[in-house]
Structure 1
């Protein structure tokens, strides 16, 4: 398999995340694992030793800026950006290798599945097999050629919808493949807030973004919504 670096932006490295990363490494033997924390955290009293091939770096807080920071530290030919609540499928390596044999594919994303069942989440998961502005997002383990990531300028330094913008930049000059396998992500936020309510809120924010609303304004609204519904524990 071609060299791949997995960049995982997170609020702070935890025992649970270390266990999840071990599963990621098992799905992608030989992959470089880069965890990127915000650089405004207080220093840890005792930084845990990481397994060989893992690195912990810091960057300005925000998913896009942390992804960019991890990418700068990465060495792989392919860069995967994986959310810290998401697990890869066992065949991740083989489906990625197959997709990137096509030189016309610049980026690939997995379909999505949830760790709990609900008919509305199932409908959302079914739609993730299609590649479009409405169905391609960062929670699908975006994987991009390193040279293309550099050519399009990486992620914008936005607090929200940085994944939508990266995909838009890629579509201008290359193709995005949807892979036949699915990552599995946490459904806790959807179920806590109500799947219909959460999906409606997400859809309205995306619509406003596509109509030109500034990401900074939308991010503030997003955080207020999440704080009102779930006590402010934003990911």
Structure 2
């Protein structure tokens, strides 16, 4: 990215959705105190009125085949910004996120980053999860998608977009970016829903997530991991 006035770069926020009518309003609302930003909701076939909610809030809504990687790539293809921000539909951005992103990307050698994570629940076990996420992000520079990954559009194109895998697409994107760039972590958190931890329990969800990462690193295909994941009826990470 050519360094320039931090206020000059347009940020395109891409939100993949599938039956997120109960969450999408809060996600979109968290973007609205920003400047020089566009919001693109990419719906994968919701049956609960998610697109209508998003359209009512005045953002761009498009449709694509289902699949988080496919949806995010579809949104990126029509984005007009020099910076891309990928936001989960159940995650809310902090105030002044746009300024923080532009400032972060002005650092020499930095083309990508993410936020720290706050899980919207008072349960003490989730404070441990947050601590683990912070440790992983800073020590190994490996943020996941629920931390609102951002990067320059140029870097996204050069790395080949999200690999259209059924699972682990965020892990693979960050792994590719790390080869040539530092991944900056903004110490202000995004706030995400606790639903995926509470559905199967905090401990069980954490263990399952680690098993999936280990399986992927051991060379088991994302398709096979996803089949197992669906068979066990667990939520995706």
> Aligned partners of 1:181, 1:11: CA distance in 2, in Å?
27
Is 1:188 equivalent to 2:195 in the alignment?
Answer: yes
Corresponding residue number in structure 2 for 1:127 = 132
2:121 aligned to which of 116, 125, 146 = 116
1:101 is displaced (CA, Å) by 1.1
Structure 1 contact 133–164 (Cα < 8 Å) conserved: no
**SS of 2:74 mapped into structure 1:** helix
Structure 2 contact 113–184 (Cα < 8 Å) conserved: yes
Is 1:216 equivalent to 2:202 in the alignment?
Answer: no
- TM-score, length basis structure 2: 0.86
> Per-residue displacement from partner, 1:121-163 (whole Å, max 9, x unpaired)?
2122123333466842111100010000000000001010000
**SS of 2:232 mapped into structure 1:** helix
> Aligned partners of 2:217, 2:95: CA distance in 1, in Å?
35
Corresponding residue number in structure 1 for 2:16 = 9
> Aligned partners of 1:116, 1:226: CA distance in 2, in Å?
23
Is 1:36 equivalent to 2:12 in the alignment?
Answer: no
Structure 2 contact 167–236 (Cα < 8 Å) conserved: no
> Aligned partners of 2:195, 2:46: CA distance in 1, in Å?
25
With 140-149 and 173-182 compared, the bigger mean Cα shift is at 173-182
> Aligned partners of 1:183, 1:109: CA distance in 2, in Å?
9
Is 1:66 equivalent to 2:93 in the alignment?
Answer: no
> Per-residue displacement from partner, 1:177-221 (whole Å, max 9, x unpaired)?
011111111112212211001110111011100111100111122
> Aligned partners of 1:133, 1:36: CA distance in 2, in Å?
30
> Aligned partners of 2:125, 2:22: CA distance in 1, in Å?
31
After TM superposition, which residue ranges in structure 1, 4 or more long, deviate above 3 angstroms? 46-52, 131-135
**SS of 1:57 mapped into structure 2:** strand
Corresponding residue number in structure 1 for 2:4 = none
Corresponding residue number in structure 2 for 1:21 = 28
Q: Which runs of 5+ in 1 are unaligned?
A: 228-232
> Per-residue displacement from partner, 1:212-235 (whole Å, max 9, x unpaired)?
1100111122222235xxxxx779
**SS of 2:32 mapped into structure 1:** helix
1:30 is displaced (CA, Å) by 3.1
Corresponding residue number in structure 2 for 1:55 = 60
> Aligned partners of 1:134, 1:206: CA distance in 2, in Å?
15
- TM-score, length basis structure 1: 0.87
> Aligned partners of 2:231, 2:26: CA distance in 1, in Å?
31
CA RMSD, aligned part only?
2.4
